[in-house]
């Protein structure tokens, strides 16, 4: 049987609703990585998976094959328990910035390989690159060395980690197969398993500003992610968290760094503090450090020193002024009352249109662009009071941002019911 016929057989098996064997999965991922399976063949297989799904066992094997397509980080020389965190993405989701140094300050090591923003969701690397001198690209030796010396690193994934996922992700993006839960879960977990951490906490977002709009969809993804972790012997916990309203008050790049520093100094918005501490507790529990209170460490400002060391280790100056936008535009409250709605998706799209995000991976971003949410749901306002401050270096972008915000905020007479920030927790079986 030649290789082309093998690809066709794999496609036909999944097209007809059959589970793929371990041998089929291993072969097709390896062959696709090497260029033996063509993009159009993998596109057909991705669509068959999108339509017919994969079992837990198939998804775990698919993940393993993607991990095995490249290298794994060697963290055995790090003398602390290693634990990572992944968010499925949202608006104002700056949590990695205070979380990584906080967990490191509590005694664990955090190897956080992060990405860039696309569309209305922000990217951690874009945010950190607003700090003068900071660099995202590190070698595997630099990553391990920084973990030993500082306890935390936030950087770009190395080229050698899960190269099959990099190819497949780009293909899914242009073939309408992004929304497949098995493919999403294996994409996330292949990179995280390749990182080599001992444990992983997942922040699965739910709501208008999230990829998963309903709790049921988010729960399916969380369970798939945790199931892969179980199959691979990885300690994993997933939190379902609300993303119907932006996190904190800052949405953008430099503005989110500034807000994160406030949190690290013991202040900052209550919701950012709450979620940072909740995720830190889960990470420390999986790392065997549940006797440490991250809330006390954060409130004391003790994590700020670790943040400064982490930024300096990657060439950045934590004391340098952050970029400021050349133009601002204020959106005022149309009437007296209480803010009853501030839609995360609307705010995220507005920030994107102001220049904080990108439509394509190769597009640049404006580090100073973004939106400040000056009033959030439950807060009283008066007519004419500033609700939102739009920041950009390109004033011509303001009308498009205002159009994105149309219907995205409302003022009423009574405060809305408060949705819990942490909706539920899904625990893995490995401990």
Do 280 and 145 have their domain in common? Answer: yes
Do 258 and 401 have their domain in common? Answer: no
Catalytic: 165?
yes
109 contacts 196 by C-beta, under 8 angstroms: no
Give the residue from 15, 38, 53 where a domain finishes.
Answer: 53
pLDDT > 90 in the chain, percent: 86
As to burial, measured by CB atoms within 10 angstroms (0-12 exposed, 13-18 middle, 19+ buried), residue 229 is: buried
The pLDDT score that the predictor gives to residue 137 is 94
Where does the pLDDT of residue 98 fall: very low under 50, low under 70, confident under 90, or very high at 90 and above? Answer: very high
Find the mean pLDDT for residues 3-14: 85
The pLDDT score that the predictor gives to residue 119 is 73
Q: Which of 14, 64, 86, 205 is catalytic?
A: 86
CATH, residue 296: 3.40.1030.10
pTM: 0.94
Catalytic: 86?
yes
Do 169 and 220 have their domain in common? Answer: yes
The pLDDT score that the predictor gives to residue 5 is 61
Whether 47 has a pLDDT exceeding 90, the answer reads yes
Residue 348 token pair: 């995220």
Give the residue from 53, 69, 92 where a domain finishes.
Answer: 53
Catalytic: 427?
no
CATH, residue 367: 3.90.1170.30
Q: Which of 69, 186, 187, 244 is catalytic?
A: 187
Contacts 24+ apart (CB under 8 A), 314-319: 314/134, 314/135, 314/136, 314/138, 314/146, 314/153, 314/155, 315/133, 315/134, 315/135, 316/128, 316/131, 316/132, 316/133, 316/134, 316/135, 317/131, 317/132, 317/133, 318/131, 318/261
Where does the pLDDT of residue 179 fall: very low under 50, low under 70, confident under 90, or very high at 90 and above? Answer: confident
Q: Which of 14, 116, 166, 191 is catalytic?
A: 191
Do 298 and 342 have their domain in common? Answer: no
Q: What is the count of structural domains for the chain? A: 3
381: number of CA atoms within 13 Å, CB side? 26
Residue 161 token pair: 């980690």
Note whether residue 373 is domain-resident: yes
Do 181 and 312 have their domain in common? Answer: yes
Note whether residue 69 is domain-resident: no
Cβ of 175: how many Cβ atoms within 10 Å? 16
Do 136 and 19 have their domain in common? Answer: no
Do 365 and 384 have their domain in common? Answer: yes
The pLDDT score that the predictor gives to residue 359 is 75
Note whether residue 71 is domain-resident: no
The pLDDT score that the predictor gives to residue 116 is 82
390 contacts 350 by C-beta, under 8 angstroms: yes
Note whether residue 63 is domain-resident: no
Note whether residue 417 is domain-resident: no
C-alpha span between 8 and 29 (Å, rounded):
14
Note whether residue 215 is domain-resident: yes
Do 184 and 258 have their domain in common? Answer: yes
CATH, residue 45: 1.20.970.10
Q: pLDDT per residue over 325-383, tens digit each? A: 999 999 999 999 999 999 999 999 999 999 998 877 778 899 999 999 999 999 999 99
168 contacts 184 by C-beta, under 8 angstroms: no
Q: pLDDT per residue over 391-430, tens digit each? A: 999 999 999 999 999 999 999 999 999 889 999 999 999 8
Do 123 and 251 have their domain in common? Answer: yes
Find the mean pLDDT for residues 287-315: 96
Do 15 and 118 have their domain in common? Answer: no
The whole domain housing 347 covers 327-412
Do 377 and 243 have their domain in common? Answer: no
Whether 1 has a pLDDT exceeding 50, the answer reads no
Do 351 and 311 have their domain in common? Answer: no
The pLDDT score that the predictor gives to residue 129 is 96
The pLDDT score that the predictor gives to residue 147 is 96
Whether 43 has a pLDDT exceeding 70, the answer reads yes
Q: What is the radius of gyration, based on Cα positions, of the chain?
A: 22
Catalytic: 172?
yes
Catalytic: 94?
no
Note whether residue 75 is domain-resident: no
131 contacts 315 by C-beta, under 8 angstroms: no
Q: Which of 85, 166, 172, 391 is catalytic?
A: 172
Residue 19 token pair: 């589970």
Q: Which of 165, 203, 271, 343 is catalytic?
A: 165
Note whether residue 23 is domain-resident: yes
239 contacts 425 by C-beta, under 8 angstroms: yes
Among the listed residues 36, 35, 38, 6, the one whose alpha carbon sits nearest the alpha carbon of residue 23: 6
Residue 393 token pair: 């270096």
The pLDDT score that the predictor gives to residue 4 is 56
Find the mean pLDDT for residues 153-164: 91
C-alpha span between 62 and 190 (Å, rounded):
9
Mean model confidence pLDDT for the chain: 94
């Amino acid at each position: 049987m030649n290789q082309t016929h093998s690809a066709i057989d794999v496609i036909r098996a999944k097209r007809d609703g059959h589970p793929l064997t371990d041998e089929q999965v291993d072969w097709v991922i390896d062959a696709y990585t090497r260029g033996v399976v063509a993009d159009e063949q993998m596109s057909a297989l991705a669509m068959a998976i999108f339509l017919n799904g994969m079992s837990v066992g198939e998804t775990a094997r698919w993940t393993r094959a993607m991990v095995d397509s490249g290298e794994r980080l060697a963290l055995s020389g790090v003398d602390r328990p290693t634990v990572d965190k992944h968010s499925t993405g949202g608006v104002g989701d700056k949590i990695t910035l205070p979380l990584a140094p906080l967990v490191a300050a509590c005694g664990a090591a955090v190897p956080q390989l992060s990405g860039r923003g696309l569309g209305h969701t922000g990217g951690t690397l874009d945010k950190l690159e607003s700090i003068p001198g900071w660099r995202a690209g590190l070698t595997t030796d630099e990553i391990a060395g920084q973990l030993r010396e500082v306890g935390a690193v936030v950087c770009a994934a190395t080229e050698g980690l899960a190269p099959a996922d990099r190819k497949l992700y780009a293909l899914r993006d242009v073939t309408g197969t992004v929304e497949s839960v098995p493919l999403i879960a294996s994409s996330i977990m292949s990179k995280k398993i390749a990182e080599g951490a001992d444990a992983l906490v997942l922040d699965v977002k739910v709501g208008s500003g999230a990829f998963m709009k309903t709790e049921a969809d988010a729960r399916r993804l969380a369970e798939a992610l945790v199931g892969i972790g179980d199959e691979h012997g990885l300690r994993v916990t997933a939190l379902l968290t609300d993303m119907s309203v932006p996190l904190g008050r800052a949405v953008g790049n430099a503005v989110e760094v500034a807000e994160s520093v406030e949190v690290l100094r013991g202040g900052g918005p209550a919701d950012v503090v709450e979620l940072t501490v909740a995720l830190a507790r889960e990470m420390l529990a999986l790392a065997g450090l549940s006797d440490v209170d991250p809330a006390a460490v954060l409130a004391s400002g003790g994590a700020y020193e670790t943040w400064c060391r982490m930024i300096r280790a990657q060439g950045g100056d934590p004391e340098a002024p952050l970029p400021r936008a050349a133009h601002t535009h204020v959106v005022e409250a149309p009437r007296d009352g209480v803010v009853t709605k501030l839609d995360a998706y609307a705010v995220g799209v507005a920030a994107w249109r102001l220049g904080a995000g990108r439509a394509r991976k190769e597009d640049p971003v404006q580090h100073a662009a973004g939106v400040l949410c000056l009033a959030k749901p439950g807060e009283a306002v008066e007519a004419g009071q500033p609700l939102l401050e739009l920041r950009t270096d390109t004033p011509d972008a303001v009308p498009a941002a205002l159009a994105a915000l149309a219907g995205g905020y409302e003022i009423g007479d009574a405060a809305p019911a408060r949705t819990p920030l942490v909706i539920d927790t899904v625990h893995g079986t490995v401990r």
